[in-house]
Amino acid sequence: MGGGTGGGSDDRGSQAFDPARARAAFRALAVDARAPSAVAPVGTTQDRLLPATPDGLPVRIYRPETALPVATVVFLHGGGFVIGDLDTHDNHCRWLCSETGAVVVSVAYRRAPEHPFPAAVDDCLAAVRWAAAELDALGGRTGGLAIAGDSAGGCLAAVVTQLCRDSGGPELRAQLLVYPVADLRADGQYPSRAEYATGYLLTADAMRWFRACYLPDGTDPATPTASPIRGRLDGLPPAVVVTMEHDPLRDEGEAYAAALSAAGVRTRAHRFDGLIHGSFELPVLTEGCADAMREAFGSFRALLVDGIGDTR
């Protein structure tokens, strides 16, 4: 669901899991400690405020060094629906832009607990619809709109993909889900949740707290707009699903990939051994992590350019 916040209880009011403290800790890891050598070059970046919500919806647009037209990817950041932002996932988006050659629109959706479910879903769907309307001014490639997200953002990307299918569009070319949250039910039977409950950045305690922040009292966690694995999966665009070996979310991500494939969705699943949840946001990228990003984003790029004649 994003970077861990340390030990503690699942009480939203606990000192260990205070939103402001947790956000500052994640920023210190992903932004303040970031090595300049890990930052991927892009052509340009631009911050904008979309008229998609009453207070405006911030986005950051990454443009590649390649010439237009290219695909446009709407990116939804992770962080347990609580702690991520445009800056914590800046390098993730830079790598995605650089490796795919696509324009990337990173969305600062409203976060819990101040704005619980379904505020983030509403914002992300609004951003996708805005991107579809502005496609000529973004990537410029007809039919080249796609979606991506990591962790909690992977959950939101999967949910929005289903909503686009069910609510008249826009049509999405592909989806990239990086170590996604697929099932917000606390009793989901996924062995990796117990196997990697502590010691690997994202903890079971943090996951419980994120869930409590995001889902208001009385919300059914099995509703498909919270747990996309519970939704109807046929008729969705091709997918790349990325999981990490040492990740409590590994098994539900792989279950979602298998369910997509069983529903007839063209799906490429990657599991990267030796890596942990949040690896793509770490301040220093090991050679293995950089190779994983190139491989995963390369698979996504193949979906973005499939049938267009670009064989890079």
Catalogue the active-site residues.
151
Distance of CA 46 to the CA centre of its chain: 20
The whole-angstrom separation of Cα 148 and Cα 155 is: 10
The two most distant CA atoms of the chain are separated, in Å, by 54
Q: Which of 112, 99, 101, 97 is nearest to 181 (CA)?
A: 112
The whole-angstrom separation of Cα 243 and Cα 64 is: 26
Beta strand segments in the chain, E: 44-50, 57-63, 70-76, 103-107, 140-150, 175-178, 239-246, 267-276
The dihedral through the CA atoms of 262, 80, 291, 139 has a sign that is positive
Q: Measuring CA to CA, how many Å separate 3 from each of 71, 93, 142, 178?
A: 29, 16, 36, 14
Rounded to the nearest 10 degrees, the angle between the axes of helix 152-166 and helix 119-133 is 60
**Two tokens, residue 179:** 């170590």
**Two tokens, residue 257:** 């990939």
Distance of CA 282 to the CA centre of its chain: 15
The dihedral through the CA atoms of 164, 269, 30, 215 has a sign that is positive
Looking at residue 306, the DSSP 8-state letter turns out to be T
